[in-house]
Structure 1
């Protein structure tokens, strides 16, 4: 069974559905009880290969007295996804004057990156945050999940 969230998104409210590679900005052209989501923007990140393909060096080692330990390898893939979330938040902020209600839907890591990157003005407009990946659903399916219809 699919999870529904029973949200009331006002007319003119925005929905940001994203993951680390793709983000959709949707606007409700209907009203709170009968959504009519329309795509306002689509963002797609450039190809982001796994970290193992982006670097071949072994992690450096640190000596502390007689003990040696490795330093964790940099996760280039994760850094690229966080950078993408920041770019989406910045682009959304450019149109923020028109945003009075915003629902943010993203997997947990991306949601955290978006939360950190959103401007104070956008943070005040957020009416709900949902930690799910809905990027592979159609616009209609996204609307059904959000409203429970």
Structure 2
């Protein structure tokens, strides 16, 4: 069972924002301090698209097929995971944390896990597949401790 030791970093993220927390106490009574926030503006795909989807001539007479346009909104979400992984790498490389707990939806955890450098992966002590980005810090403390105790 993973524990929230003093100094453990907890990153609570979704595909558009991340909250960086550090535990100041122990597992029995965690007290998380906000050490940073990251957020990207990611308008809907319709707002980011400049053109209507293209069309392509088919082999049949008078037939045309529609082409899918690039989903800019989805690309920005994937880029956010890569950017977050890079930030965590720099923080780990500077020795700012030894233990890391990741809290995100299963999809975001998968995207993030694929982007993490080995130096960061080696420090991950737990992953919690929940979206908690809109919760107050006190509630995050309770939910993370509860999840770790149940696991």
Question: Shared fold (TM-score greater than 0.5)?
Answer: yes
Matched with 2:107 is 109
Q: Radius of gyration: which is bigger?
A: 2
Q: Give 5+ residue unaligned stretches, structure 1.
A: 1-5
Q: Give 5+ residue unaligned stretches, structure 2.
A: none
Q: What do you get for the CA RMSD once the two structures are aligned?
A: 2.1
Q: Distance in 2 between matches of 1:115 and 1:145?
A: 22
- Structure of greater relative contact order (alpha carbons < 8 Å, 6+ residues apart): 1
Q: Distance in 1 between matches of 2:129 and 2:57?
A: 40
Deviation per residue, 1:49-106 (Å, 9 max, x gap): 1101111423334456437543332110111122122222212211102322111111
Q: Distance in 1 between matches of 2:125 and 2:118?
A: 14
**Poorly superposed stretches of 4+, deviation over 4 Å:** none
Structure 2 length-normalised TM: 0.82
Q: Distance in 2 between matches of 1:7 and 1:68?
A: 57
1:91 aligns with 2:87: yes
Matched with 1:41 is 36
Matched length: 143
Q: Distance in 1 between matches of 2:107 and 2:142?
A: 24
